[in-house]
Each structure stands twice: as C-alpha cells, then as structure tokens.
Structure 1
Amino acid sequence: MSNAVTLRLTKELSEATKNPDHQIFLKWDDSDIMNIKAMITGPPDTPYCLGQFEFSLQFPKDYPTNPPKVLALTTNMARTRFNPNIYASGKVCLSILGTWRGTAGEQWSSAHGITSILLSIQSLMSDKPYRNEPGHDLEKDEINKIEPYNRKIRHETIRISICDRLEGFLGINQPSFMFNGSSDATSSSSSSPPSPPNVTPAGNNALATPVGTPNSSAVFASGVQAKPPLVESIYSTCVTPSDEFSDLSKYLFMAYYDIYQNTVKTESATVSDGTPFYVAPFEFGGNKMEGTYRYATLAKRLEVIRQTIEKETQDWIKMSQQWIASSSRMSSNLARQFEQIREYYRENDTGGVEVQLVDNNPFVWTFTIFGKPMSNYDGGMFKIQMVFHDSFPDMRPRVKFCTPMYHVHVTPEGIPFYMVEKQEDVRTHIEAISNLVLEDEPSPNPSTHVNAQAAKLLFGTKDQRREYNRNARRCASRSVDYFE
C-alpha cells in the first residue's frame, strides 16, 4: 500500500467523521485502513425504512485509480436479494463500481470516494426498488407488482436487518421457523416466540465484555454465531464476524423501536400471516426473496429485543459496583470527567444544566435541563439518566429522559436521538441532548424523527404545528411535578 493511498483514505475518513451522517456509519482499523465496514440505515418512507444494512469495502492498492470491491453483508447468509441491484451473493451492481454498465459520466473516476459510493448504494433503497431492474424502470403496475415487491421488502427489512441482527448481538434464541425461507410453508404458525430475556443463553456474563471481544460468544467465519450449549434449536443470524456495529445497532433499535412496531401494525392489517411472498419476474434460483408473512411473530420478537436491551442496561448498573471495587481505569476517568463537567457548568453559571451522580456512582449520572425562556419548554425541568459501561466510549452511554418529554427527536419512552463526534467526552453528550430541548427548530431530517406523532404535527399544517406547541408546553408543565 502506497503512502498516497493511505493519505487519500485517511483524508476521506476524516472528512466523513467531521460531517457525521445520521444514516451512514463507518468502522475501520487504523492498522488495516484498506478494509472498511459501513452500515446504512434504510431511508424513511421506503420499504427499507430504518433497516440496518452492512457493507464491506476493500480498497485496491491503486485506489483511487480503481474503485473498491463492495460486498453487501446483510443477505440472510446469501439467501435474500434485498434489491434488484443488491444480490443475495453480496454483489452490488453500480456503474461507479464497474459492476454495472452505465454512461461515460456514470463510470468510476478518482473524484468518487467513500461517501459518494455509500450515497449511491443508499439511493438504490428507493420507494420503488422494483424499477431498478433493467426493463422494469418504467413499470406502472403498482397494485400487482411494485407494491407486492415493496411489501415483502418491508417485512424482511424488519425480520432480517433488525430482528435477526439484534437477536444475534444479544444472544436471543432463534428457533428454526425464524428462517422464513421456502421451508416456512411446512412450519407451524403457532410456534412459540423467542425466549424472554431472563432465559437467553448469553446470560449476564455476556454483558461484562463488549460483543466482538475474545471472551464473547464464538462467531464462525461464515457469520453464524456459535450455538450455545444445551440449546437444541437451529440458529440464524446476520451477525458479521467482528460485530463492529453491535453497540450502535442497539442504540438505533431503541430509538426506532416504535417506528418498527408501527410498520408491523400497519402492514399486518394489509396482509395475513402465512401469505406467501410475491416473486418478481427477475427473481430466480437462489437470487431472490422468498418466504411468508409472519408479522405476529415479528411484533413479539421486537418486544423481546427491547426488553433484553433494557435488562442489559440494568445489568450495567449492577456490574458497575464490581468496576468501582476493582478501581477500573474507566471508573476513575468518569469520576474525573464528572468533577470537571460540574465545575464547568458552575463557572459558566448558565443556569441551564445541573449534573449529579446517582449514589456517588461514576457509572450512573443524572442531569437536569431547564427549559429555555420564551420557548415551548419555558419553566420545564427535564431530568435525564446516563448509564455507562466500563468499555465507554466504545460502548456509548444508555440515555433516557426520566421526566415526560414531548419532542420530535425523543421517543415516547424517553430515548433521545442524538449523535456526537467526540464519543469519549461526556460533556458533548450532555450538550447534544440539551440542544434538543434548547434549540428553536428541530432538524427536518426524517431519520432523526423518533416520535412519529410529534413529527406529523410539527411538520404539518399551521393548526398541527400549534397542537405540537401545546403538547410541548403541557410536557414542560408536567415535568416540574417530578421534582416536588
């Protein structure tokens, strides 16, 4: 690898980090910068809505003269073709990658890079992916072809890119009927849902070490997580060998949980469980998406995943006593940051934030945000809890509002959607969350809208906007009751 290639990739990654995208995420090892992993969340208002899709990018030694080799990793272990241009084998057909013919202006050039490649892949996840197939780009048959194709993508996006993926990260049992392939036709529709959190094979010990470390569950090169002992069911996961996005995936799941469940509720009203998927004319052999609808099961699986992540957070609190007793490096780090941050807000006398430790535990913080005068939240006092793992910042803190918060960027359960550039600096987390309350105008980016009802009102008509404002003011008024 030449210095020129290293400098080019380093520059591209630095620029991507400085301008974080809410839907495109990158992971790499500085010792092997030629191999990069990316996760793209499906665009809202498409069949891929907020699904989690992974890709690997392998750069050649003559980059950027030639493009990287891009492979889709979210394929249900080479069983599922998620798009006419994203094959079950992992092949991604794009003219800028040289994997599909195109006009001269669409071919690869050194002006392209990591961001343009991933944006091009994301553009394939459109509202009508059926039209990506050559010869079907002008297809007008919405009822019989385009919508049936979209409908099965919605189902498999939740089943494969969300449920299979998160269950793999969390060690939740996945019985054989979860495969949802052609064998589903003979599977029992009355099969039991996944095991509840308190009987998952991973157990509490799995929480002590981040997924992907040498002590975590074994993962085979094929991407299949090793079956825990004494469990006879067959397992299916979409977990990649290194699990770089495990922590991020859990965070995004909790932020988007209500949206996933709303999709399940809406779609289950239009198609009956057990109905076979529509098969498009361009799907054949092993390069297709086949199966049957099982939304009732998906709703249960989503709920079990949510409960398991919440239990994991509570286990962090229990385990923090061990980390404190052993005088772990992170225990000292967080204690030091707390003192610095408390002093910062005292010296600046902003009157906007107060921070505290719960039971003098550096792994469990609370902070209070005071509503901005003359805003919807004027007079409000909003308490937020932050729970840290000993592996922070590799594992981001679990954050939740303890008081009511009606906001387009906060879920009805109190999970805020926010991103920070400096994960290791706790103050950047506090300021990012504070800005949600103090900002005058929430972001219009739909991928950040985790309260669907609030978003509908905020970005709707004038009357709907007024209703949003009234709800926010009521929320501020109720918040004070929690401090009495």
Structure 2
Amino acid sequence: MSDQSILRITREIKQIQQGTDLSIAVACQDSDIRNINTLIIGPPDSPYQFGFFEFEIKFGKDYPANPPSVQAITTNGGKCRFNPNIYSNGKVCLSILGTWRGERGEEWSSAQGLESILISIQSLLSSNPYENEPGYENAKGSSDKKNMASYVAKIRHETLRIAVIQPLEKSLGIRPDGVVIPPAKDYTEDDEDGFWLEDEKSAFNPFADLRKRRFLWYFESYIQTIDSAEQGSSRRPKFDRMPFESTGNTMDGHFDYPELKRRLIFVRETIINETKNWAMEGLSCKERELGIAVNIQRQYEQIVEDLKRLKNFTVDLALADNNPFVWELTYFGRPMTQLDGGIFKAKIHLSPRFPDEQPRVFMQTPLFHFRVSKTGVLCYFPQKPEEMRSHIEAIVTALEEENPAYDPRLTVNPEASKMFWGSADDRKQYNRALRRSVERSSE
C-alpha cells in the first residue's frame, strides 16, 4: 500500500474520531491501520434502536481506487441475518462496495471514503428494513404487511439480545449461568462450564467502554421497548421466516422478553458494581504512587485552584475519602435559570485506566431532567475526553441546557424527553416537575 493511501486512511479515521456524530465510532490497532473496526449505533425509532453493530473494514493496496471490504461482526457467530442486505455470514450488500448491483452513479468512486461507507451501512438500519429487499415496491398485499410487521418485531428482539446484551455480557465476563468471572484474572481456555473468556491483555475490544457508558444512558429505553413489546404477547412464540430468508441465511429464534429484561437488569447491576470497584482499584494505585493516580490527583488540584481563582461559586469539588478516583461535585443552580436555588450533588467515578475508560457520573440528588436517567445516570459529552476539566465543563453544560436541539441519542429519561420536546402543555409539565426537583434539593 502506498504512503498516499496510508495518509488518506489515517486522515479519514481521524476525521470520524474527532467528529460530532454520536452514532459512529472507529478504531484500529497501531500495528495495522489498514484493518479497522467500526461501531454503528442503531438509529432511534427503528427496530435497531440503540443496538451496537460492529463491522470490520479492510483496505486493499489499491484504495481509494477500489472500495475496502466490509464484514459484519454482529451476527451471533454467523447465525443471524440482521437485514436483507446484511447476511448472517457477514456480507454487506451495497452498490458502493461493489457487492450489489446499483444504479448508475451509486457505484464506488475514489471521491468517496470511509464516512460514505458508514453512512450507507447506517441507512440500511431503517424503520422498515423489509424495504431493502428487491421487489419490495410491489409488496402491497395483506400478507406483505404482515411480513413487514413480523420482520420488524424479530429484529427489535434480536437487537436487544445480540447487539446489546451479548457483547456486554462477554466484556463483563458474565457466563450463561449468571456467574461473573473476575476481569482481573486471565482465562485463555474453556472453563468447566463451557464459557470462553478471551485474554483481556491480547483481545482487541476497542468499544467495550463505549458500550457500557451508552448502555447506562439507554437502559430506560431498552426497558421501555421490552415493556411495550410484551403487551399482549405470549412468552416464547417462534419468529416468522421471511420469503427472502434461506437456509443458512436467516434470523431464526423465538421471543422471550422476560428473559431479555432479566439479563438487561443483571448487566446494569454488573456495570454498577464494576464502577464501584474502580474506587478500590484507585486507592491501590494511590498507595503504590502509580502515574495515573498522580496525574488524576494533579488534575483535580488544578481544577479546584482555577475554580477558586475565577471565583466560580456554581461548582464545588471534593474527593470522597481522599480518593482521587471518586470526585464529589456539588452544583449550585445559577440565578435566573430553571435551576436557581437548587443544590445538586453528583459522584464522578474515574477508572484507573482513564482516559481509555471514561468517567461515569451519577446524580446523588434526584433531578427530573432529560439528561438524567431515572436511576441517576448523567448523560454528557466532553469535547476533550482525556481532560477532566472538559468533563466538569460538560457536566455543568448538560445540567444547564434549557433549549437544546432534539437528539434522542443524548436524552436518557424518556418521560422527561417526551414532555420537554412535546406540546406547549407538555413543556409546562416538564418545567413544573423540574422546579419541584429544585425545591426539594435545597430542603
């Protein structure tokens, strides 16, 4: 591969990593930039909603004269076809990739690039994926409509099972019997229960932390999806097979939403426990005077010094039990805002692997807010993830936002979001609920 190709791939990866699209992530190992992993988060209001769909992309020596090859990874080990154009063997059928016949002008050109490919794949994850099947335009009968509804229903179920729960269980070390294997221990062969856990030191799993953080954000949406789907349905009906599905390239299985809910709740509990364990790991790092502990302690001290120097009375910071890996933030509502008079406390949990693992923030004071989940998880997005100063600024910005643009990927309280972006009366209800939170916070 020429130096020009390498430079172009590097530039395209960097542009996406520094971009503002919360639905796409890319990563590669430094040793081989031609092979990258990408994660596409399923679009809101689709059966793929907030699922984590991973793809491998390999650039050939002739890139960009020809497109790279793309392989879907989220296939349940080659047993699940997630779309008419995303096969169970991982093949992605798109004209831009040269894997599907397309109209003139839809083929690959060197003017296109990695972002074009990811957007094209993302477009397949639509609200009605049945329309991706050739001949859909002629589907008008009642049986066709039934197939469309059945297809959407089983994709919604398998998105939760395969694209949300399974990869998180794997990275958390949750076995099928519900036992959690301590992540500090290396398991490189089958244990007696038949569960395979890859050696954490050698496995390339660049999206593990992203999945965990987003899972905490979207947990209420996942539960809401299950509760809605469960209404009027029996426990274990089989999936309907679609006309275009053939042996070895299907989405077969059965519905079992109660089991999905159980697993979702257990995944959440495991992530919370992992977060709490960071404090113990952090104290160990502090006692051994490791660089990460010194670095985080210094960042804390610099931020506190700056708050005092700037006479910022909105934010107060302290360390829980003198542990640099657990920050206690107190936010005092600014005058003349909806939070005026409120006193809100939050805990910021930092990982000893910061910034590879990002902080997790939990509100200790109840707050009815579209950026705060019912369980207190705060959704925020720092401009510079490697700097704690940027995290503090982003936390305050998230709390103070009064008229943000609607983005379902950044709203983690479905009830509050529906009110905030609903009718004028809905907004009034939201404001009243928020003010009640403010009044109670200072009692």
The 1-side partners of 2:313 and 2:303 are apart by: 14
How far apart in 2 are the matches of 1:56 and 1:137? 31
Structure 2 Cα separation of the partners of residues 301 and 50 of structure 1: 16
Selected match of 1:144 from 143, 146, 160: 146
Q: Which residue of 2 aligns with 1:34?
A: 34
Match of 1:212 in 2: none
Q: Secondary structure at the match of 1:80?
A: coil
| Aligned counterpart in structure 1 of residue 318 of structure 2, from 356, 375, 378 | 356
Cα contact 2:350–2:358 (8 A) shared by 1: yes
Aligned-partner SS, 1:105: coil
- The aligned residue for residue 60 of structure 2 is 60
Secondary structure in 1 matching 2:294: helix
What's the CA shift string for 1:117-148, capped at 9, x where partnerless? 11111110001001100012453446411111
Q: 1:26 to 1:270 in 2, by over 3 A?
A: farther
> Of the candidates 432, 435, 439, which is equivalent to residue 473 of structure 1?
435
8 Å contact from structure 1 (residues 378, 473) kept in 2:
no
* Cα distance between partner residues in 2 of 1:321 and 1:437: 29
Asked if the contact 1:408–1:442 (Cα under 8 Å) also holds between the matched residues in 2, the reply is: no
TM-score scaled to structure 1, two decimals? 0.87
- Tell me whether 85-94 or 399-408 shows the greater mean CA deviation: 399-408
CA gap 1:236/1:350 in 2 versus in 1, 3 angstroms = closer
Aligned residue number for residue 158 of structure 1: 160
Q: In structure 2, what is the equivalent of residue 454 of structure 1?
A: 416
Q: 1:235 to 1:160 in 2, by over 3 A?
A: farther
- Per-residue CA deviations over 1:421-475 (Å, capped at 9, x if unaligned) read 4222011111111101122313311121111111111111100011111111111
Query: Partners in 2 of 1:241 and 1:362 — Cα distance?
Result: 29
2:3 equivalent in structure 1? 3
Q: Deviations over 1:286-305 (max 9, x none)?
A: 10000111111111111111
Following the alignment from structure 2 to structure 1, what is the Cα–Cα distance between the partners of residues 30 and 402?
39
Distance 1:403 1:135, change over 3 A: same
Q: Call closer, same or farther: CA 1:143–1:163 in 2, change over 3 Å.
A: same
Query: Which structure 2 residues correspond to residues 61-76 of structure 1 after superposition, within 5 A?
Result: 61-76=61-76
Shift in Å at residue 332 of structure 1?
0.2
Q: Deviations over 1:55-83 (max 9, x none)?
A: 11111122111111111100000000000
Q: Which runs of 5+ in 2 are unaligned?
A: none
Alpha-carbon deviation of 1:381?
1.8
**Counterparts of 1:30 and 1:465 in 2: how far apart (Å)?**
48
8 Å contact from structure 2 (residues 187, 197) kept in 1: no
Superposed, 1:245-264 pairs within 5 Å as 245-264=207-226
Contact (CA 8 Å) 1:71, 1:91: kept in 2 or not?
yes
How many residue pairs get matched? 439
Q: Provide the identity percentage.
A: 43
**Deviation at residue 236 of structure 1 after TM alignment:** 10
1:34-433 to 2 correspondence within 5 Å?
A: 34-140=34-140, 141=142, 143-174=145-176, 194-195=177-178, 199-200=179-180, 202-203=181-182, 206=183, 208=184, 216-218=186-188, 226-227=189-190, 229-231=191-193, 241-433=203-395
Q: Which has the higher contact order (CA 8 A, sep 6+)?
A: 1
Distance between the aligned counterparts of 2:84 and 2:316, measured in 1? 52
Deviating more after overlay: 329-338 vs 24-33? 24-33
> After superposition, what is the alpha-carbon deviation per residue over 1:166-186, rounded to whole angstroms, capped at 9, x for unaligned?
111111111xxxxxxxxxxxx
Cα deviation per residue 1:84-124 (whole Å; 9 max; x = unaligned)?
01000101111111111111211111221111211111110
CA distance in 2, matches of 1:427, 1:216: 34
Q: Distance in 1 between matches of 2:385 and 2:378?
A: 16
Q: How far, CA to CA, are the matches of 2:91 and 2:187 in structure 1?
A: 28
Give the TM-score normalised by the residue count of structure 2: 0.95
Letter in 1 for 2:44: P
Deviation larger for 24-33 or 398-407: 24-33
Please say which of residues 386-395 and 367-376 is displaced more in the overlay: 367-376
User: What do the CA deviations read for 1:230-281 (whole angstroms, capped 9, x no partner)?
Assistant: 325x6799x9952111111111111111111111111111421110101100
**SS in structure 1 of the partner of residue 105 of structure 2:** helix
The 1:87–1:155 alpha-carbon spacing in structure 2 relative to 1, beyond 3 Å, is same
- Rounded to whole Å, the distance in 2 between the matches of 1:391 and 1:148 is 43
Work out the CA distance in 1 between the residues paired with 2:36 and 2:186.
Answer: 22
Residue 468 of structure 1 aligns to a residue whose secondary structure is: helix
Secondary structure of the corresponding residue to residue 440 of structure 1: coil
Assess, with a 3 A threshold, how the Cα gap between structure 1 residues 442 and 216 changes in structure 2: closer, same or farther: farther
